[in-house]
Amino acid sequence: MTAVDTEPATPGTDAEHLLVVDDLSTSFATGQGPLRAVEHVSLDLGRGRTLGIVGESGSGKSVLARSIMGLLPKYASRTGSVRFEGQEMIGASASDLRTLWGARMAMVFQDPMTALNPVLRIGRQITESINEHLDYSKTQQRETAVALLRSVGIPEPERRLRQYPHELSGGMRQRVVIAISLACGPALLFADEPTTALDVTVQAQILDLLEAQQRERNMAVVLVTHDLGVVATRADEIAVMYGGRIVEQAPTQVLFREMRHPYTEALLKSIPRLDLPSHTRLEAIAGRPPDLLDPPSGCRFTPRCPYAQDKCHAEEPPLEDDGTGHLYRCWFPVGITSKQTTVDSVVTEANVRQGDDDQAVPAKVPPAPPVDGPPPAAPAGEDT
């Protein structure tokens, strides 16, 4: 039924089970009743591994990351189990959580423009968690901060310590945010859309930086993104979320080889591909994400699913393992007949720049530019 079922959920600190999430649900108390942002999510992440969580806005992927960490507002409530390094985090006291936050697990936020405190110096914001969790002298804290900034590729780190966030560019700020998250050497890093707010040219650099740091520190990473292309080469396993639920979950290679859920298929069609002619039209997914206050009956993707049948409206499919560790939540999986798609073909190192919510995926995008090349030319706007 769940991911955990495939491997016995043995809580422990062994390398294979750094993070074990079992049947986690999160809901927000609102004026119109509970909003179930995340439902029945189970995950298992080993030390040093990367899990990609993919979905569009409102799919609950960011809330999932925050729910695992416990970083939720007061009006949110969680059920289920989250074990990190063998320790149950749901129901843990605030002070117990605080000893983990920033020290054993950390988060990189989406928008470096808003994630840094505008009125505190960079240095202060980096040393803050070191000061909290490690028994370092002021000098050691400072030296660590300089080393961190250097390791994330920031020139003149000593000078940066005295600067304020607005004095740095967006890419630099995101490097600072990453430096802050790495400060105490966490075992698990959540990266919540770490490149969405950045320029195309910088996106790949930041992702590469994260990857390098991950390898160096043997750190597990949960990479939250709306872009299958981002996780295609970086994640060991991918979980696709829709309407607060995981709809498909598999090792990366398997997922791209045998895509089963129509939503995953639609997501894939919406990113530019290398193996198709450069003027191929990209498809946006029609319709809107479900209203989580009043979700549709049956499968939540039904209203937007091109293959939906009566059964889909009536009954929600369970998340089932096909026996190979590939899970999906669909009555009529698309897998078998669809043509093969390889991982390499969807990789676009510098991914298509994302616009506002209400802006379509660019109608056509030139072939992916080299990593350090200029940003892709603006889409010619051929769609009507």
Nearer to other proteins, 6 or 233 (CB): 233
Q: Is 226 in the site for other proteins (CB under 8 A)?
A: yes
Long-range contacts of 202-205 (CB under 8 A, 24+ apart): 202/170, 202/171, 202/174, 203/350, 203/351, 204/349, 204/350, 204/351, 204/371, 205/153, 205/171, 205/371
Q: Which of 340, 358, 370, 377 binds other proteins (CB under 8 A)?
A: 358
Given the complex with other proteins, which of 13 and 57 has the nearer CB atom?
57
Q: Could you give the CA distance from residue 96 to residue 93 in angstroms, rounded to a whole number?
A: 5
Per-residue x/- marks for other proteins, 248-287, CB under 8 A? Answer: ------------------xx--xx-----------xxxxx
Q: Bridge-partner residues for 83, per DSSP?
A: 20, 88
How many Å apart are CA 206 and CA 152, to the nearest integer?
Answer: 9
3-state secondary structure of 188: strand
Q: Does 117 bind other proteins (CB under 8 A)?
A: yes
Q: CB nearer to other proteins: give 64 or 250.
A: 64
Phi then psi dihedrals of residue 160, to 5 deg: -60, -35
The SS3 assignment for 168 reads coil
Are 204 and 349 within 8 A, CB to CB? yes
Per-residue tokens: 120: 């505190």
Containing 328, the helix (H) or strand (E) segment is strand 327-328
Please report whether residue 383 would count as binding other proteins according to CB under 8 A: yes
227 binds other proteins (CB under 8 A): yes
Asked whether position 62 contacts other proteins by CB under 8 A, the answer is yes
Q: Is 384 exposed, middle or buried (0-12, 13-18, 19+ CB in 10 A)?
A: exposed
Counting every residue, how long is the chain?
384
Residue 203 makes CB contacts below 8 A (sequence gap 6+) with: 195, 350, 351
The label of the residue with tokens 């607060």 reads 244
Residues 164-193 vs other proteins: string with x where CB under 8 A? x-xx---------x--xx----------xx
Q: Does 218 bind other proteins (CB under 8 A)?
A: no
236 lines the binding site for other proteins (CB under 8 A): no
**Measured from the CB atom, is 1 or 120 closer to other proteins?**
120
Q: How far is the CB of 216 from other proteins (least distance, A)?
A: 21
CB 307 within 8 A of CB 263: no
Nearer to other proteins, 9 or 266 (CB): 266
| Number of amino acids touching other proteins (CB under 8 A) | 78
Binding mask 72-111 for other proteins (x = CB under 8 A): -x-x------------------x--xxxxxxx--xx-xxx
> CB-wise, 180 or 207, nearer to other proteins?
180
Q: What span, in angstroms and rounded, lies between the C-alpha atoms of 116 and 306?
A: 42
Residue 8 vs 357, nearer CB to other proteins: 357
43 or 130: CB nearest other proteins: 130
Q: Closest approach of Cβ 370 to other proteins, in Å?
A: 22
| 313/299 Cα distance (integer angstroms) | 6
Q: Which of residues 299-338 bind other proteins (CB under 8 A)?
A: none
Minimum distance from CB of 318 to other proteins (Å)? 25
We find the least distance from the C-beta atom of residue 322 to other proteins, in angstroms, to be 26
Cβ atoms < 10 Å from Cβ of 305: 21
